[in-house]
Structure 1
Amino acid sequence: MKAFVVDKFGPPEDLTRTDVPDPVAGPQDVVVDINAAGVGFVDGLLVQGLYQVKPPLPFVPGNEFAGVISAVGGDVKNLSVGQRVMGTAAGSYADKLKAPALLCIPTSADMTDEIAAGFAISYATALYAWRDCGKALTGETALVLGASGGVGQAAIAVGKAMGLRIIGAAATEDKRAAAKAAGADETVDYTQPNWRDELKQLTAKSGLDLVYDPVGGDAAEAAMRSLSPGGRHLVVGFAAGDIPKVGLNIPLLKRCSIVGADWGGEIRANPVLAAEQFATLLEWFAQRKMTPAPVTTRAMAELPQALRDQLDRKLVGKLVMVN
């Protein structure tokens, strides 16, 4: 089969597609023929060796997928050959991958592979962050940083399903329009020097209840300073590239909390939790309580440029590679 292989850490432009052996399912695994694979900011960091966790070399990048099962391990009882599935597992930028059965979810008939390939990580992260980490309550007001990207749009969709009022923060008019199209109630330009004043107006000076922060950088501290007493700042990632060093006087004086929302770390520690999260999200999808944002697609062969565009923050919404 064909796969993109990282033999040494470096820029995504150095990636090449090569022949590798087909994967073989272990007792609790399935092999999936990949139809589509989601692109995330983390993927571009991993191939450069810049993420907090460095996979051993060589490895096939990519972490989310949709496709059809072509083989099942002997201990797998809930999945079968020929079944459409989506999920998360390392190695999705390939023709096939081996995935733990626990992290594969049957794809509903009315969800396309393209939507499914960008669903598992971003939407499960949003549910984990809002519900399990942030203890979000219906009617609360939340700010989503990076609201036009795939992670931000998923946070908007899940937040709206939970009854939150969402303010989307994005840097350009087109990106703010994308956040509104994804369901944000209001938007702000967080590159403007007075953007916190706009937040005060939008919250009637009462402050934010929650901040969903996959961006970091300079925006993080300003957003945290806009929290109300009892507010929760959910740390999801650092797409800006800089990990902010926030003074602990802010949570002290604001009487707010900083909460880490690392869904991947939680699932690696407790993989059985994924099934309930996916079931909840798919139930909301079936009930039309939650509508995933549209995705854009490119051919799998274009992966190196796709990762570069993701790292340079040129993308709006979720990008999915298709075989």
Structure 2
Amino acid sequence: MNAWLVQDWCTPEQMQWTDLPLPAPGPSQVRVKVAAAALNFLDTLMIGGRYQERPPLPFAPGVELSGTVDGVGEGVGLTAGDRVCGLVPYGAFAQYACVDAAELVAVPQGVDLVQAAALPVVYGTAHHALAERGRLQAGETLLVLAAAGGVGLATVQLGRALGLRVLAAAGGPDKCALCLEHGAELAFDYRDPAWAEQVKATTGGRGVDAVFDPVGGAYTAQALRLLAFGGRLLIVGFAAGSIPEIPANRLLLKDLSALGVVWGAWRRRNRPAAAKQMTALFDLWQQGAIAPLVSQRRPLSEAPQAIADLGARRTTGKVLLIPEG
């Protein structure tokens, strides 16, 4: 089989396209014939050794996939031919991947198997942020930063499905228009220096109940100022490249909460709850309440350029890599 390998911490362009033997699943594992691997911002970090989890070298990157079970190890309830998707530690950027069966969930009939690769990470993260960490209730106001990205659009859609008033912030008029198409009530271009004041004016000066923040950097300070009394800052990531320091006095003055959102680790510690979460998300998809936006389907061989585009924020929605052959 063909796979991309990281021999040493590197840039996407330095990965190696390699011919490898077909892997054999071990106990509690299955081998998946990959239908699609989805890109995530963490891929850019993991390849360079800058993510909090560092796989042993060499490794095939990629943490999100969909496909068909092709082989099973001992002690596995899945069978050959089962349609699955899931978050895996690494190994998705390959034609086949051996993964723990516990990492996978069934893809319902009627759901496109390739597109299913776009669901687990972004919608799982969005659901964990809004329902588990933020405990947002219908009628509350949510501001989503970087709302035109994969996790941003998922949060916009899910927030609307949960009955929230959803405001979006994104970079540029085209991205703002995309947010409106996917359910945001209003979208603000944060290239405009006045965007934060515009958000505040929209709420009548009260502020928003929660901010979904996958960006970090200077945007986090602006987000804190936009929170209403008792508001929640949902910290998802730091796509801007810098980790902000949060002044404790700002939390104290308005009874605010700053909450970390780490769906992957939560999922591993709460398997039954995570399984129910995935079932609920597939139900919402089949009802038409959410729908992953796949902006690009590219051959797996184009992974380096696709990852570079994602890291440079030249993409919207989710980008999928499709193995050839």
**What TM-score bracket applies, with the shorter chain setting the length?**
over 0.9
Counterpart contact for 1:31–1:96, Cα < 8 Å: yes
SS of residue matched to 1:298: strand
Tell me the equivalent position of 1:152: 152
> Unpaired segments of 5 or more residues in structure 1?
none
Whether 1:8 aligns to 2:17 is no
TM-score of the aligned structures, taking structure 2 as reference length: 0.95
Helix, strand or coil at the partner of 2:34: strand
Aligned to 2:216: 216
Match of 2:140 in 1: 140
Deviates more, 1:12-21 or 1:110-119: 110-119
SS at match of 2:290: coil
Shift of residue 272 of structure 1?
A: 4.1
For residue 277 of structure 1, report the CA deviation from its aligned partner. Answer: 1.4
Shift of 1:25: 1.8
SS state of the match for residue 219, structure 1? helix
- CA distance in structure 2 between the aligned counterparts of 1:318 and 1:280, rounded to whole angstroms: 20
Between the two proteins, the alignment pairs up a number of residues equal to 322
**In the alignment, is residue 204 of structure 1 matched against residue 204 of structure 2?**
yes
| Aligned 8 A contact 2:148 2:316 in 1 | yes
Deviations 1:156-186 (A, max 9, x none): 1111111111111001011111111221111
| Contact 1:32–1:96 (8 Å) recurs in 2 | yes
Q: How does 1:90-239 map to 2 (within 5 A)?
A: 90-239=90-239
Alpha-carbon deviations, 1:174-233, whole Å to 9, x = none? 111111122111101123222221111211222100110111111111011110111110
Between the aligned partners of 1:27 and 1:53, the Cα distance in structure 2 is: 23
- Please name the residue that 2:66 is paired with: 66
Does structure 1 residue 41 correspond to structure 2 residue 65?
no
1:270 CA drift (Å): 3.5
Aligned partner letter, 1:69:
V
Ranges in structure 2 where 5+ consecutive residues have no aligned partner: none
The structural deviation recorded for 1:266 is: 1.4
Q: Is the 8 A contact 1:211 1:223 kept in 2?
A: yes
Give secondary structure in 2 for the equivalent of 1:86: strand
CA separation in 2, counterparts of 1:113 and 1:174?
A: 29
CA–CA distance in structure 2, aligned partners of residues 266 and 110 of structure 1? 28
Contact 2:66 2:85 in 1 (8 A): yes
1:300 matched residue in structure 2? 300
* In 2, Cα distance between equivalents of 1:112 and 1:295: 15
CA RMSD of aligned residues (A): 1.3
Structure 1 runs of 4+ aligned residues shifted over 6 Å read: none
Query: In structure 1, what residue type is equivalent to 2:81?
Result: G
The residue type paired with residue 166 of structure 1 is V
Taking the TM superposition and a 5 Å limit, the aligned residue runs for 1:273-312 are: 273-312=273-312
Contact 2:29 2:73 in 1 (8 A): yes
SS at match of 1:25: coil
- Which residue is 1:252 aligned to? 252
Corresponding letter in the other structure for 2:171: A
SS at match of 2:122: helix
CA distance in 2, matches of 1:184, 1:29: 40
1:237 is displaced (CA, Å) by 0.5
Counterpart of 2:93 in 1: which secondary structure?
coil
Q: Is contact 2:12-2:304 (8 Å) kept?
A: yes
Q: Does 1:87 align with 2:115?
A: no
TM-score, normalised via structure 1 length: 0.96
Deviating more after overlay: 9-18 vs 95-104: 95-104
CA contact (8 A) 1:234 1:261 kept: yes
Question: Hey, what's the Cα distance between the residues in 1 that align with 2:137 and 2:187?
Answer: 21
